[in-house]
Structures are given as C-alpha cells and as structure tokens.
Amino acid sequence: AQKITQTQPGMFVQEKEAVTLDCTYDTSDPSYGLFWYKQPSSGEMIFLIYQGSYDQQNATEGRYSLNFQKARKSANLVISASQLGDSAMYFCAMRGVTGGGNKLTFGTGTQLKVEL
C-alpha cells in the first residue's frame, strides 16, 4: 500500500519569500518516484518536479526544489522567491516502480496563497 500525507491544508506566504510545502509518504515498494503538481484555480494540473527514490541529489527545477529525506520519508517542496502566480493548490504524488507499481497516489493538497 502507498500513502501520501500533506498536513497543511492552507499556507500563506509573502511575495518574494520562500515557502516549504510538506509531504510525507509511506510505501513498501523499495523503488518509487515522487512528484509535485500545481493546480491553479483554472483547474489544470501542472507537473512541477520529480524525485526518484535512488536519486542521490535533491531535484531542482528553476524556483522549485525538492527536499528529499528518505529516512524520514519526506519529500517537501520548496518554492523560492514566491510570486503572485504561485497561488494555487499543490499536490504531492507517489508512484511505485516494482511489484505492479503503476499506481499513482496523491495527497490531499495544500492551498498556497501568495500575498503582497
């Protein structure tokens, strides 16, 4: 079984500040991938960043970075220099790789609001 937990239903951040969105996971799969998606109010799902369980370095994509702590089973998303356009719902997701691991599981999401 695999499970994603996002404990922050809502977050506020000031423009130009950095913000961390929490994600913890649980899986019995020895190999897995972690994803973050953004969903603006328009409803589309936008892929942000990926981290593989065996990747040695934390993933980065522009202003997004993933703080991956395997022993703690956490995969927090860090957004640097927040912009008003970052206001959206953010979802953490996990995909197992072995043992029939095609399942893609999402968390409950964090609603981020960027303020002036």
Partner 1 sequence: DVKVTQSSRYLVKRTGEKVFLECVQDMDHENMFWYRQDPGLGLRLIYFSYDVKMKEKGDIPEGYSVSREKKERFSLILESASTNQTSMYLCASNLLWETHTEAFFGQGTRLTVV
Residues near partner 1, by CB under 8 A = 6, 9, 33, 35, 37, 43-45, 47, 50, 52, 91, 93, 95, 97, 100-109
In the block, which residue shows the tokens 């799969």? 29
CB of 41 vs partner 1, minimal distance in Å? 12
Please identify, using beta-carbon distances, which residue of 39 and 74 lies nearer to partner 1.
39
Q: Give the distance from CA 44 to its chain's centroid.
A: 16
CB of 65 vs partner 1, minimal distance in Å? 17
SS3 83: coil
